[in-house]
Amino acid sequence: MKESLFNPIFKIRMLFLIGALFVTSCSEQQKWTDTQSGTFQLVKNDGGATLGYSLSSGITLLTNKGFAFKDLNKNGKLDKYEDWRLPVDERAKDLASKMSIDQIAGLMLYSKHQSIPAGSRGPFSDTYGGKSFRDSGAKSSDLSDGQIKFLSEDNLRHVLLTRVESPLVAAEWNNNAQALVEGLGLGIPANNSSDPRHGTRSDQEYNAGAGGEISMWPGSLGLAATFNPDLVKEFGDIASREYRALGIATALSPQVDLSTDPRWMRVSGTFGENPQLAADMARAYIDGFQTSHSDSEIANGWGFQSVNAMVKHWPGGGTGEGGRDAHYGYGKYAVYPGNNFDQHLFPFIHGAFDLQDGTMKASAVMPYYTISFDQDPSGENVGNSYNKYIITDLLRNKYGYNGVLCTDWNITADETAIDVFMSGKSWGVEELSVEERHYKIIMAGVDQFGGNNDAGPVKAAYEMGVAEHGEKFMRERFEASAVRLLTNILQVGLFENPYLDTEVSTSVVGNADFMKAGFEAQLKSVVMLKNKGNVIPFKKDMNVYVPKRFYPPRRSFTGAETEGRLDYPVNMKIVEKYFKVTEKPQDADFAIVFVESPESGGGYNIADAKSGEGNGYFPINLQYGPYTAELARDPSIAGGDPLELIVNRSYKGKTVNSANYKDLESILETKKIMKNKPVIVSVNMSNPTVMAEFEKSVDGILVNFGVQDQALMDIISGISEPSGLLPLQMPATMEAVELQKEDIPQDMECYQDTEGNAYDFGFGLNWAGVINDARTTKYAAK
């Protein structure tokens, strides 16, 4: 029976229907605006996430309860991974379940080094339309042929950026790359990364109120020399803002290896040798990089200003036998003569995995190249990323780490030379094929392959796993890695908006406030070791003599050679703003000799090995004069490589010279010609140095770990007071270096100067004398 319009029951039903329609209409009312911002569209959800997408990618928007979402896989419906309201782990699991094995294999790749624009020659060169960049007519921000291939065909989404032409070019390149990958497959954005890029240009002048290319800070050892975790956290916060403005969402840092062997070539990248200081600096660094604040935060400290920190190198790389480094076959073995393996885990467990802010732990870890010799109870001696005990039993299970694990670069390639940096580093598994190496790494518990643009070996590894364990097992294993990798992309907001406003980027990177903070940190990092008679500071406009420095011939890690030259070691125009410069020592009131710590190579000489009379191994020298290793151990603890016939790597009785021995000659000659007038030595230090060769001859010693010349002049002239402390011990002799154990921190006999001061960890002077403050009480108290 038809209901009458005037029937009360019908009226009630109609009113209910109208009300329901009104509520539905309100709930679906559009709560977002879509505007163009440069080359991309910007969608602002009222009270929700801001989205960025490119019209060229073919992406359209979906609406749910009035909010906008990107239809990344173009299926016309809102999938969980596209829903920015859901928790990151739920989104990551949903997306991983939708990915093909080919797509997951691409996600497990981390690109070779990419320069923007690409060079025309050398190991990292590339082409544009088949031509060199110079001949192609391409823009600096265009994608190279290789980049288009690995993003499109190999499904790679993790790109390591090295040199960028400018912040503007970096931002434009990022937008081009993101537009490309947004339109492919499931729309997974690129997670671009960088090694540390905030070092100084020593000759560049700092002007208060002026900006620069990027803020400049002391190196890691310099940050450690401040003994100030709060300063390091400030660095991380500033650096993360500059990274995100460049399109970088992952930092391949910090390097928290304990530099327990002073000869190691990577000491300068660490926070020194003290476990507690390294842990505190690691925690501050990562909290600064990973934590977003206020409107930038998405959840749990993560957000649009966050940068994933890939802490390195598990389980510590500073114990190479004889101080040799595992980038080379001659340095592949990490040894533990002091049975002190566990202490090298301290900066990870009590620093990187124990953060104070919301992100809880470093989001990624990189194991080192080394074979942690005889540390696996099973007796297997293979590189750390291949070792199931080091990766799964210790890191994953014992210490509960469930973040991303990424190999160091080039570890699956074949070793072609024992002394070449660019050679493959498949330590301990040289007999395996490239595909078998990938499989062993995956089964050890690692997620990602550094420096590999090719998905082929990862897909082959998957098939090996299927043959051994079955499809279900291997699919779950790959999805586990995919979830970890996707989590790091999701938690920093790249799925919502991977695009950059170029004007914002150019205003953020290297802005005046950031430059000022970096320069002030440089001042705090300089360590004064000697100040005889309080000769420093010197009054403005006094006459100063600065001898030229001989720069020895060098060969870079890529094989490029530079000739030796004689030149001023500092920007003399900067010196002239503080003092009157004279080229005549007799007219000078004082002299400053600028030197670098001794350089003797990596402890191996291929010519000696090929001669048939030697094994190729030599000591690494921390003094300028010749050193003969009379106290070296014989036989070596570890040895063996497919490219050498010997196993004993001892260098006992061998003599080595430092390439920059003329630095010592310059110091002593300057003192001779200056007679009784003050001579100050400024050491740019990469490794601990035997000061006994020259300390008695000079009046002052300043140590820095990478600062601008102007920072040194500020201290020498008294504008700023030195406050840095040694993050490392200075050895009394090379014999003391030889007798210390590679794995034990602070176990050397330290040098004592003519003023009665021991150059031990935590030592430093200010104008009043030896520094004793809260920092030395906390870290350096005996």
Please say if the pLDDT value at position 122 is more than 90: no
184-198, 220-234, 254-268, 725-739 — which is least confidently predicted? 184-198
| Euclidean distance between CA atoms 32 and 27, whole angstroms | 13
pTM (two decimals) = 0.94
Percentage above 90 pLDDT, the chain: 90
Q: Give the model's confidence band at 658: pLDDT under 50 very low, under 70 low, under 90 confident, else very high.
A: very high
Can you tell me the mean pLDDT for 177-198? 95
Can you tell me the mean pLDDT for 429-434? 98
Nearest alpha-carbon partner for 246 in 214, 220, 217: 214
How many CB atoms are located within 10 Å of the residue 667 CB?
23
615-635 pLDDT, tens digit per residue, is 999 999 999 999 999 999 999
Positive or negative: CA dihedral 367, 370, 376, 379: positive
| Euclidean distance between CA atoms 282 and 376, whole angstroms | 26
Please say if the pLDDT value at position 261 is more than 50: yes
Phi-psi region of 451 (alpha: psi -120 to 50; beta: other; left: phi over 0): left
| Euclidean distance between CA atoms 617 and 597, whole angstroms | 21
247-257 pLDDT, tens digit per residue, is 999 999 999 99
pLDDT at 560: 77
Provide the token pair at 305: 């200003």
- The better pLDDT of the pair 6, 7 is held by 7
Give the CA distances from residue 178 to residues 155, 164, 237, 485, in Å, rounded to whole numbers and listed in that order. 13, 17, 24, 17
| Euclidean distance between CA atoms 684 and 697, whole angstroms | 19
pLDDT at 671: 97
Containing 91, the helix (H) or strand (E) segment is helix 88-98
Provide the token pair at 738: 């030889």
pLDDT at 201: 67
Provide the token pair at 94: 């949903």
pLDDT at 5: 39
pLDDT at 15: 37
pLDDT at 209: 53
Please say if the pLDDT value at position 311 is more than 80: yes
325-374 pLDDT, tens digit per residue, is 999 999 999 999 999 999 999 999 999 999 999 999 999 999 999 999 99
pLDDT at 536: 98
Can you tell me the mean pLDDT for 528-543? 97
Q: Give the model's confidence band at 763: pLDDT under 50 very low, under 70 low, under 90 confident, else very high.
A: very high
561-599 pLDDT, tens digit per residue, is 889 999 999 999 999 999 999 999 999 999 999 999 999
367-385 pLDDT, tens digit per residue, is 999 999 999 999 999 999 9
**Average pLDDT value over all residues in the chain:** 94
94-109 pLDDT, tens digit per residue, is 999 999 999 999 999 9
pLDDT at 743: 98
With contact defined as beta carbons under 8 Å apart, do 264 and 318 qualify? yes
pLDDT at 253: 96
Pairing of strands 580-581, 543-545: parallel
Provide the token pair at 608: 């000696």
Burial of 690: CB neighbours in 10 Å, binned 0-12, 13-18, 19+: buried
Q: What's the half-sphere exposure (Cβ side, CA atoms, 13 Å) at 214?
A: 25
| Euclidean distance between CA atoms 742 and 649, whole angstroms | 15
DSSP state of 442: H
Q: Give the model's confidence band at 13: pLDDT under 50 very low, under 70 low, under 90 confident, else very high.
A: very low
Q: Which long-range contacts (CB under 8 A, 24 or more apart) does 716-721 make?
A: 716/536, 716/537, 716/538, 716/578, 716/592, 716/680, 717/537, 717/538, 717/539, 717/540, 717/578, 717/579, 718/536, 718/537, 718/538, 718/539, 720/523, 721/766, 721/767
pLDDT at 24: 36
What totals of helices (H) and strands (E) does the chain contain, helices first?
22, 32
Please say if the pLDDT value at position 16 is more than 50: no
How many CB atoms are located within 10 Å of the residue 488 CB?
23
pLDDT at 206: 56
- 433: helix, strand or coil: coil
Q: Give the model's confidence band at 135: pLDDT under 50 very low, under 70 low, under 90 confident, else very high.
A: very high
Helices 434-444 and 471-490: crossing angle, nearest 10°? 70
Percentage above 70 pLDDT, the chain: 94
Can you tell me the mean pLDDT for 207-213? 60
Q: Which long-range contacts (CB under 8 A, 24 or more apart) does 645-649 make?
A: 646/615, 648/615, 649/321, 649/322, 649/330, 649/615, 649/617
Please say if the pLDDT value at position 29 is more than 90: no
With contact defined as beta carbons under 8 Å apart, do 190 and 157 qualify? yes
pLDDT at 124: 84
- Residue-wise over 192-224: b if at least 16 C-beta within 10 A, else e? bbbeebbebebeeebeeeebbebbbbbbbbbbb
Provide the token pair at 705: 């770990």
Q: Give the model's confidence band at 300: pLDDT under 50 very low, under 70 low, under 90 confident, else very high.
A: very high
Burial of 314: CB neighbours in 10 Å, binned 0-12, 13-18, 19+: buried
